[in-house]
Structure 1
């Protein structure tokens, strides 16, 4: 229930991610006949104040939805409405997707996380792989998508280059013959983790429809899809970034990296409102993570301190965060918790 066009667009987009259809009312008068029977009611702030005046009946399952920035949550408005929760967007998007899906008994589609670098060599492939590996260790079904055609290859980061399975060139040429529902099963995989990466042959670009097919297959069959994006966004990367529930910009704690990251952030922000910054140490000039986030105008998702043994492990073919210990693993666990991705069956 809202007459705010921006809030309505956000609510419709979130409902689409949850595969739920919204019945929209601009005010309490239009909502009155449906208010009591709806499985869940989302109410904007202006409509909430009108509800109090209209004396709509109290009922469970009412969520007050507001959009940042806020000085403080509107507790008085929520109390007058009888709301059970206040969902502050964009931070509450993953929770709201879960809540909508649960209200109608629909399975939640996979969360999509996009990772991109503030400058070349920032370590995005390692962070993206670490997120996917951490999810798989927790018993979650994960898909790692390598969307950077000139990167080193996500399969190499995992140590999986010898595994059989489909890779981008086959899908990009449209010759795989694999329908989207079966696509993930045809990829190189171990346990709960599958990867869509590149071979070592001819360099090809990913058509946007191929990326859409991969994301659709991942969202339908996985709990988490992680996409490793190039810094220069092509059409396929834009498709992935637009679909992301969370986008992470990895920025080394260096002045030149911050300047480069500002350009990347400006381009990425056109396609997503879910951009967060992860700051990677060391910081030669003692730049603080919050200073970098403030300079970029982005929320801080976390910090990643130097972990020399990580590079050695990858050189030996061991996947990032594969042991579940270390600074990368801890950061990835925190990010997954914030996405409301709970462990199903932790792996030793």
Structure 2
């Protein structure tokens, strides 16, 4: 059977188990490569993105001591016997999968293999001071990024205005944190992407409008970020300013953290404290809103490079009130600044050098 880069390797000589796994692969829309003996599976052991090793061949494969790799799951038809756990440990398997109990999870895992992207760009946005416009810029990044591929803005600030409201998606049907924090288990990238409120290529994950927003649950935030990264070209996190271990963990998972700052004496002083929090866990850059202290002096005062500077967007409040989002036109000030930041982040230019700012 011809394999592709997203083809899992199914290793079993048990015809019943093989039929079960083929059915699950078909449900996920993937075509597996098959091996019915321990030695034969070694040819594709490293190349396959996922290995499903039948309980019948697990002892023989363990005896061969194959190269340790990620994404190996030992699959048992029914309850796994105690000895199978020892074989799984010898192989270095990620875990045991019992069928039919874990069928839904396995289909989601197989579905993710068909995602065309290995992982999207993740940007965190936070305010260097109150009123710096972090949520607005996070939404602007999402709007501009959605013009080039699937994008999602994740609202990590339960006390913020709500990114869905800023983007005019608060009345769209879809998954919110309120429901996500009640779930357990691994999230499928495709399932999450299709479940979120969205307009075109842009999705949002926030709280229900008008409801009482509760604190983020760590497990839900990790799963949401992981699934979003697998299922979108660009992921933007709207991060709260308050010091919190979970916020710092999410920032550490970002490719770049953008600190929004107002270039005034007070704004730069506040931004310097914020930058000090994030430079230890992630690459941080500043985005300036307005004029005042020159970008070079802001960079020297904070020890963090300035990636972009922009003037206030005209009719911004009107655009948001009309449900159009902050970027009404891609050539507007917010649109140009967001495009500049995205281009620099994708080129790997963030986090080094100072004074790279250009007024937008």
Residue of structure 1 aligned with 2:314, choices 304, 308, 315: 308
8 Å Cα contact 1:130/1:321 also seen in 2: yes
Return closer, same or farther for 1:229/1:275 CA change in 2, 3 Å cut-off.
same
Gaps in structure 1 of 5+ consecutive residues: 1-105, 342-348
Secondary structure of residue in 2 paired with 1:162: coil
8 Å Cα contact 1:149/1:204 also seen in 2: yes
Residue of structure 1 aligned with 2:333, choices 304, 327, 338: 327
Secondary structure of residue in 2 paired with 1:301: strand
Matches within 5 A, 1:164-313: 164-174=173-183, 179=188, 181-199=190-208, 200-272=210-282, 274-281=283-290, 283=291, 286-313=292-319
8 Å Cα contact 2:121/2:235 also seen in 1: yes
8 Å Cα contact 1:133/1:322 also seen in 2: no
Gaps in structure 2 of 5+ consecutive residues: 1-115, 348-360
Question: Per-residue CA shift, 1:256-286, capped at 9, x if unaligned?
Answer: 11111111111122221x10011110x3xx3
Question: Per-residue CA shift, 1:44-70, capped at 9, x if unaligned?
Answer: xxxxxxxxxxxxxxxxxxxxxxxxxxx
Offset at residue 255 of structure 1 (A): 1.1
CA distance, structure 2, for counterparts of residue 201 and residue 177 of structure 1:
26
Matches within 5 A, 1:1-348: 107-138=117-148, 140-174=149-183, 179=188, 181-199=190-208, 200-272=210-282, 274-281=283-290, 283=291, 286-340=292-346
CA distance, structure 2, for counterparts of residue 145 and residue 233 of structure 1:
18
8 Å Cα contact 1:180/1:217 also seen in 2: yes
Report the RMSD for the aligned CA atoms in angstroms.
2.0
Question: Per-residue CA shift, 1:5-43, capped at 9, x if unaligned?
Answer: xxxxxxxxxxxxxxxxxxxxxxxxxxxxxxxxxxxxxxx
TM-score by length of 2: 0.61
Secondary structure of residue in 2 paired with 1:250: strand
Offset at residue 249 of structure 1 (A): 0.4
Return closer, same or farther for 1:183/1:107 CA change in 2, 3 Å cut-off.
closer
Question: Per-residue CA shift, 1:299-332, capped at 9, x if unaligned?
Answer: 1111011223222211222112242121111111
Offset at residue 180 of structure 1 (A): 5.0
* Greater radius of gyration (CA): 2
Return closer, same or farther for 1:219/1:178 CA change in 2, 3 Å cut-off.
closer
Q: Displaced runs of 4+ in structure 1, greater than 3 A?
A: 175-181
State the aligned residue count. 231
Tell which has more relative contact order, 1 or 2 (C-alpha 8 A, sep 6+): 1
Return closer, same or farther for 1:133/1:252 CA change in 2, 3 Å cut-off.
same
Return closer, same or farther for 1:339/1:261 CA change in 2, 3 Å cut-off.
closer
Offset at residue 236 of structure 1 (A): 3.1
8 Å Cα contact 1:207/1:235 also seen in 2: no
8 Å Cα contact 1:118/1:257 also seen in 2: yes
